[in-house]
Structure 1
Amino acid sequence: MKRRPSGIERPTIVDVADVADVSRQTVSRVLADHPRVAPATRLRVKEAIEKLGYRPNRMARALVTRTSLTFGFAAIDMQDLHFGDTCSGMQAAAREHGYYLVVTELDIDDERGMGTLETLLTLGVDGVALFPSFLQDSDIEQFAATSGCPVVVIGRECQIPNVVSIAMDETAAADLVVGHLVDRGRKRIGILMNEMFPEVVHGRYVALHRAIAHHTTVASAPVEAERPKISHGRRAATTLLQNHPDLDAVVGFNDTMAMGALLACDDLGLRVPQDVAVVGYDGITFGAIANPPLTTIVQDSIGMADAAFRALLSRVKDGSPPEGESRLWQPELLIRGSS
């Protein structure tokens, strides 16, 4: 590709048309891969593009097509190991369809994240995906109603007008976890919960308690809440196990909290799984190299992200107002040495 020396103006579509000896409209048709362009003409235009190092102006194209070919993707915590798989799934789908992602982290101090979302809109994104958000349902509903673009929530089931939510079936996941522990003879299960985002946590908390209550051989579950990190999970599990020495199983809100529980058991001289079984959620890669390897609920993060992208894309292409919809994905229990 021919490179321009610094300081030289970027070539325009007019320059390409002049070099290829065609009209601007013909260059536009080639860029849009329009079928009604002669092969020889198409080749000549592509050679001119290569020679000049021309790059289409996405902003100019957006003015014509009324689409920016970008989606916003906002997360609560980019350090969350589960976020990587979800982002990868969104990016793969975007690349397949010629879209780009504008990825950002929601700032809880900026109007509880609403300021971040408003900034995305100023960039002209065609739609917004939230993963999973600490925003209240009322905030999401207001944003969806006023944004003028489709909105998808990933990883959290919600019933909000004009919003599609794509999430794991929490009831099915809790039944798998508790059923497995009961099958292993566990009778006293403690729970580590995320203290930060009640809107996100509520569904998992309720599902686990219902599953435990369903089994008459299992006592009611004590709960300890902390931030969803390994160090905080370690601290919460230590408190939980010291306050309830009869516990024979611990379920972490996510894999990082569960991995913290493994460390807490080691600190307290408890054997896993002989004395205490430990189970997490999310199926992150690092769970496989924990000591012992972590039993976990696996959700198809990449598949869910792909579905979220396609939900946004279909709304953009249809041009119809989005309808509220909740799509549940079935989890799997990956049994390893920790239980």
Structure 2
Amino acid sequence: MKEIQPKNTATTVADVARSAGVSKATAARVLGGYGTVSDKVRDAVKLAAKTLDYRPNELARSMTTGRSGTIGVVVGDIENPFFGSAVRGISDVARAAGFNVVLATSGEDVDVERAAVKTLVAKRVDGLIVSPAQESETEHLKERGRAGRPLVLLDRAIATLAVDSVTADDRAASEAVTRLLLDRGHRRIAYVTACDTPTHLYNDIGEILTGSVRERIEGFLHAGEEAGLANMPQWVRLGANTAEATRQLTIDLLSATPPPTAIIASDSLIAIEVFKIARELGIIMPEALSLVTFHDAAWTAVTTPPVTVVRQPVYELGEAAARMLIERLSGLDNPPRQVVLPTRLIERGSIATLFTGL
């Protein structure tokens, strides 16, 4: 018996029209969701489309309607739980509004980010949500406006870009964490971040080109200045952007004379490396080393001791960014909005109170 080969061509609008007994134009109106037809015709076309497993040609539809039904998202590192949670918030809102999400990661490299934005625009995404790697490199983001794509900045606002943004109150959070440590008697407090400079050293706040990181360092330094500490800048450590880099940086910090009595980690990936290395070196926490981290990752609540965290509204950041973009796609023409969401300090058991040796 001759084997019947499966059909390898996609069902077309003409196929649906023929099966439903209507014209191609009528079938197109039903499948495209425009124009007016009777309920009987609409039901017949939809049944035919379901029976034939009709799937719309998204590229053709986007060329006809000017819309692809997709949102492009570019974040720094999808392996970072922060961005994973934010993308979940974006996806949930987008899906509820009938949009799909196309995700790209930049690795915090502005050249990779630039290429990702170019690719997403070429794929005709309706709008973009970007967590920009650098404030100083924005021409590719400005170009999206000339391409007619609305843009929302996620987690990192840029003052020179007249677009919507949603961020957490990073400076206030950093000040609060640093003051907590100062109130507990700590005077040697290190702030460790993945952000870097060409020299891998912190010299001036103007060299920090990522907005959220700059605000956290500003809060850290300001709290120290209020306490009369002039040496806070020397405790800023940059370049903890891989597990190995964080490991070496932490070993160097804890081997210094004198070592810090507390470390503030700018994200939970850094914090877990600090935690592991302290254990390997036999450093008792929190007695010999206190630890605080931004982002309330799941592991921080189940360690011994559990880690004090800055709980950021990460999922809510994603939700807000998606809502703002969809509002723009729906015709909102108000001036750019800058939404700042509050954080929450969750005290656990990783901070010691020092009574001597301050």
Query: Does the alignment reach a TM-score above 0.5?
Result: yes
Aligned 8 A contact 1:76 1:106 in 2: yes
Residue 84 of structure 2: aligned partner: 84
Q: Does 1:301 align with 2:311?
A: no
Deviates more, 1:134-143 or 1:205-214: 134-143
Q: Does 1:287 align with 2:300?
A: yes
Q: Does 1:332 align with 2:344?
A: yes
Q: Mark the runs of 5 or more structure 1 residues left unpaired by the alignment.
A: none
- Pick the aligned partner of 1:250 from 263, 277, 297: 263
- Pick the aligned partner of 1:214 from 205, 219, 226: 226
How many angstroms does 1:67 deviate by? 0.8
Deviates more, 1:72-81 or 1:23-32: 23-32
- What is the rounded CA distance, in whole Å, between the counterparts of 1:109 and 1:85 in structure 2? 21
The residue correspondences of 1:154-303 to structure 2 (distance < 5 A) are: 154-196=154-196, 198-200=208-210, 201-216=213-228, 220=232, 222-245=235-258, 247-303=260-316
Q: Does 1:70 align with 2:70?
A: yes
- What is the rounded CA distance, in whole Å, between the counterparts of 1:232 and 1:42 in structure 2? 61
Deviates more, 1:128-137 or 1:211-220: 211-220
Residue 46 of structure 2: aligned partner: 46
Aligned 8 A contact 2:253 2:259 in 1: no
- What is the rounded CA distance, in whole Å, between the counterparts of 2:223 and 2:160 in structure 1? 26
Give the TM-score normalised by the residue count of structure 2: 0.83
Instruction: Classify 1:196/1:26 alpha carbon distance in 2 versus 1 (closer, same or farther; 3 Å).
Output: farther
How many angstroms does 1:78 deviate by? 2.5
Aligned 8 A contact 1:16 1:54 in 2: yes
- What is the rounded CA distance, in whole Å, between the counterparts of 2:27 and 2:180 in structure 1? 62
Paired amino acid for 1:213: E
Aligned 8 A contact 1:188 1:218 in 2: no
Aligned 8 A contact 1:288 1:294 in 2: yes
Aligned 8 A contact 1:137 1:158 in 2: no
How many angstroms does 1:298 deviate by? 1.4
Aligned 8 A contact 1:233 1:259 in 2: no
Aligned 8 A contact 1:128 1:151 in 2: yes
Instruction: Classify 1:261/1:184 alpha carbon distance in 2 versus 1 (closer, same or farther; 3 Å).
Output: same
Aligned 8 A contact 1:137 1:160 in 2: no
Residue 97 of structure 1: aligned partner: 97
How many angstroms does 1:323 deviate by? 4.4
Instruction: Classify 1:85/1:159 alpha carbon distance in 2 versus 1 (closer, same or farther; 3 Å).
Output: same
- What is the rounded CA distance, in whole Å, between the counterparts of 1:323 and 1:238 in structure 2? 48
- What is the rounded CA distance, in whole Å, between the counterparts of 2:191 and 2:24 in structure 1? 64
| 3-state SS of paired residue (1:297) | strand
How many angstroms does 1:279 deviate by? 0.5
- What is the rounded CA distance, in whole Å, between the counterparts of 2:109 and 2:265 in structure 1? 27
- What is the rounded CA distance, in whole Å, between the counterparts of 1:195 and 1:105 in structure 2? 16
The residue correspondences of 1:83-162 to structure 2 (distance < 5 A) are: 83-106=83-106, 111=111, 113-134=113-134, 136-139=136-139, 142-162=142-162
Aligned 8 A contact 2:77 2:107 in 1: no
Cα RMSD for the two superposed structures: 2.8
Q: What whole-Å deviation, never above 9, does each CA across 1:28-54 have from its counterpart, x for those lacking one?
A: 444355695544333322211111111
How many angstroms does 1:79 deviate by? 2.2
Percent identical residues = 26
| 3-state SS of paired residue (1:318) | coil
Deviates more, 1:211-220 or 1:200-209: 211-220
| 3-state SS of paired residue (1:199) | coil
Paired amino acid for 2:45: V
Paired amino acid for 1:280: T
Q: Mark the runs of 5 or more structure 2 residues left unpaired by the alignment.
A: 198-207, 352-358
The residue correspondences of 1:6-25 to structure 2 (distance < 5 A) are: 6-25=6-25
| 3-state SS of paired residue (1:31) | helix
Instruction: Classify 1:251/1:109 alpha carbon distance in 2 versus 1 (closer, same or farther; 3 Å).
Output: closer
Paired amino acid for 2:300: G
Residue 318 of structure 1: aligned partner: 331
| 3-state SS of paired residue (1:226) | coil
- What is the rounded CA distance, in whole Å, between the counterparts of 1:314 and 1:294 in structure 2? 38
- What is the rounded CA distance, in whole Å, between the counterparts of 2:246 and 2:347 in structure 1? 20
Give the TM-score normalised by the residue count of structure 1: 0.87
